[in-house]
Chains A and B, each alone.
Chain A
Amino acid sequence: SAVISQKPSRDICQRGTSLTIQCQVDSQVTMMFWYRQQPGQSLTLIATANQGSEATYESGFVIDKFPISRPNLTFSTLTVSNMSPEDSSIYLCSVEGQPKETQYFGPGTRLLVL
């Protein structure tokens, strides 16, 4: 399986600021995904990032709030913009797995917004 790292692992931020989360994979992958995991709730897909094209956002998530970059086949960033306490959550990146219907996940970024 792919080895995925995320930076930062955790952060505490002030409301109104922005945080960029990095996701690095040890092999080239076509599809990368960003999820949010709120306490006691299921993982929710924010967007799908395909290298060389604009990210595809799920209902309820918009590019202005969660801009995503995908500059190459091993790296992606998610920015959480103009943060509010409601953005406090764990943010996870994942990549297509084997079989391709599965996904491998990074360790997550724990975000607390004060």
Chain B
Amino acid sequence: QKEVEQDPGPLSVPEGAIVSLNCTYSNSAFQYFMWYRQYSRKGPELLMYTYSSGNKEDGRFTAQVDKSSKYISLFIRDSQPSDSATYLCAMSLDSSYKLIFGSGTRLLVRP
């Protein structure tokens, strides 16, 4: 079993839709949770960072962490074609710098 599971997609939605992206994980000791966005032929770009459980909002993006269920989510409101990319979740145990990544979900927002 992988430490972090993520549906590869692709997920295709119309412009303006609310998008929900999710990851599950097996190690209950993970403390730090991140979402990265990766455009084709580019490096991952940090989108959201959350410590422990709870919600965090930044513009159209909301990150949720449910440690009791070992489940994290990224919501994108009013999705735009420019949101079309691969979204990677990542997490770490502590400040040891070792990030464990999901395999990424491809998102396509249709105009």
Count contacts between A and B, CB distance < 8 Å. Answer: 62
Chain A min CB distance to B56 (Å): 12
* Residues 39-53 of chain A, each 1 if its beta carbon lies under 8 Å from chain B, else 0: 011111100100000
Chain A min CB distance to B53 (Å): 15
Interface centre among B6, B43, B98, B104 (most CB of A within 10 A): B43
CB of A72 within 8 Å of the partner chain: no
- The answer for the CA separation of A106 and B90 in the assembled complex, in Å, is 17
Cβ-defined contact, B99 with A103, below 8 A = yes
9-residue interface stretch from B14-22, B44-52, B63-71, B77-85 = B44-52
- The answer for the CA separation of A41 and B59 in the assembled complex, in Å, is 29
List chain B residues, Cβ under 8 A from A94. 43
Cβ-defined contact, B34 with A42, below 8 A = no
Cβ-defined contact, B88 with A105, below 8 A = no
CB of A101 within 8 Å of the partner chain: yes
Cβ-defined contact, A31 with B97, below 8 A = yes
Cβ-defined contact, B97 with A43, below 8 A = no
Chain B: number of interface residues, binned into ranges = 20 to 34
Cβ-defined contact, A102 with B46, below 8 A = yes
Known: A1-B46, A33-B97. 19 other contacts (CB 8 A): A31-B97, A41-B103, A42-B4, A42-B6, A42-B101, A42-B103, A43-B99, A45-B98, A45-B99, A48-B97, A48-B98, A100-B95, A100-B97, A101-B32, A101-B34, A101-B49, A101-B51, A102-B49, A107-B42
- Chain B residues with a Cβ under 8 A of chain A: 2, 4, 6, 8, 32, 34, 36, 41-46, 49, 51, 88, 90, 92, 95, 97-104
A-B contacts, 25 listed (Cβ < 8 Å): A33-B97, A42-B2, A42-B100, A42-B101, A42-B102, A42-B103, A43-B88, A43-B101, A44-B101, A45-B98, A92-B44, A94-B43, A96-B97, A97-B46, A100-B95, A101-B51, A101-B92, A101-B95, A101-B97, A103-B46, A104-B46, A106-B43, A107-B43, A108-B43, A110-B41
